[in-house]
Chain A
Amino acid sequence: MSDGLIASMAQALRDPAQPCPAGLRESCPADPAQRFAIYRNNVQSSLIDALADTFPVCRALVGADFFIGLARAHLQACPPRSPVLMEYGAEFADFIAGYPPAASLPYLADMARLERAYVMSAHAADSVPLTSRQLQDLLSRADLLHDARFQLDPALALVRSDYAVASLWGAHQEDDVTAALAGVRPGQPETALLVRSDLVVAITAVPQSSGELIQHLIDGASLGSAASIFQARHPDFDLASALGLLIAYQSIIHVQLPGAN
Chain B
Amino acid sequence: MASEYGTQTAMPLPAGLSGALPARAGLGLKPEHLRSMLQHRPDISFFEVHAENFMVEGGPLLHFLHRLRDDYPLSVHGVGLSIGGMAPPDADHLTRLAGLLERFQPASFSEHLAWSTHNGVFFNDLLPLVYDPVSLARVCAHIDQIQERLGRRLLLENPATYVAYAGSSLDEADFIGQVIRRTGCGLLLDVNNLHVTCRNHQRDPLAYLRALPLHAVGEIHLAGCAEHTTADGGALLIDSHDRAVAEDVWGLYCTALTLTGPQPTLIERDANLPPLEEQLAEAQTADRMLCACLTA
Question: What distance in Å separates the Cβ of B195 from its nearest Cβ neighbour in chain A?
Answer: 16
In the bound complex, residues from chain B placing their C-beta under 8 Å from that of A42 are 125
Contact across chains for B86 and A3 when beta carbons are under 8 A apart: yes
Query: B82 — which chain A residues lie within 8 A by C-beta?
Result: 83
Contacts of A7 in B (CB 8 A): 118-119
A25 near B165 with CB under 8 A, answer: yes
Contact B201 A199 (CB under 8 A): no
Contact A83 B80, beta carbon cutoff 8 Å: yes
Interface size of B by CB at 8 A reads 56
Interface residues of B in 58-103 (CB under 8 A from A): 58-63, 79-82, 85-86, 90, 93, 96
One digit per residue, 1 when the CB lies within 8 angstroms of any chain B CB and 0 when it does not, for chain A 1-33 equals 111011101100110000000011111111110
Q: For residue A35, give the distance in angstroms from its CB to the closest CB of chain B.
A: 5
* Contact A80 B231, CB 8 Å, known A6-B86, A124-B57, A126-B59: no
Residues of A within 8 A of B167 (CB): 1-2, 5, 23
CA distance A183 to B125 in the complex (A): 43
Contact partner of A28 among B79, B166, B234, CB < 8 A?
B234
| Contact of B96 (CB < 8 Å), options: A6, A50, A84 | A84
A155 CA to B200 CA, complexed, in Å:
47
Minimum CB distance partner of A13 in chain B: B123
Cα separation A123 to B165 with both chains bound (whole Å)? 41
* Residue A142 interfacial (CB < 8 Å): no
Contact residues in B for A37 (Cβ distance below 8 Å): 230-231
| A132 contacts the other chain (CB 8 A) | no
- How far, in angstroms, from A13 to B116 measured CA to CA in the complex? 11
Q: A86-B55, A199-B60 are in contact. Are A80 and B130 (CB under 8 A)?
A: no
Please state if B127 and A9 are interface contacts (CB–CB under 8 Å).
yes
Q: At the interface, yes or no: B295 with Cβ under 8 Å from chain A? A: no
Nearest A residue (CB) for B85: A6
A131 at the interface (CB under 8 A from B): no
CB pair B124–A80 under 8 Å, yes or no, is: yes
Chain A residues within 8 Å of B291, by CB: none
The 8 listed contacts between A and B (C-beta, < 8 Å) are A2-B129, A6-B129, A23-B167, A39-B162, A83-B81, A86-B52, A122-B60, A123-B58
Binding site for B on A (CB under 8 A): 1-3, 5-7, 9-10, 13-14, 23-32, 34-39, 42-43, 46-47, 50, 79-86, 122-127, 154-155, 196, 199-200
With A28-B202, A39-B125 already in contact, 18 other A-B pairs whose C-beta atoms are closer than 8 Å:
A3-B134, A5-B130, A5-B165, A6-B86, A6-B118, A10-B123, A14-B121, A29-B234, A29-B235, A30-B230, A30-B234, A32-B163, A35-B236, A83-B117, A84-B55, A84-B93, A84-B96, A199-B59
Chain B residues engaging chain A, CB cutoff 8 angstroms? 52-53, 55-63, 79-82, 85-86, 90, 93, 96, 115-125, 127, 129-130, 132, 134-135, 162-168, 200-202, 228, 230-236, 238
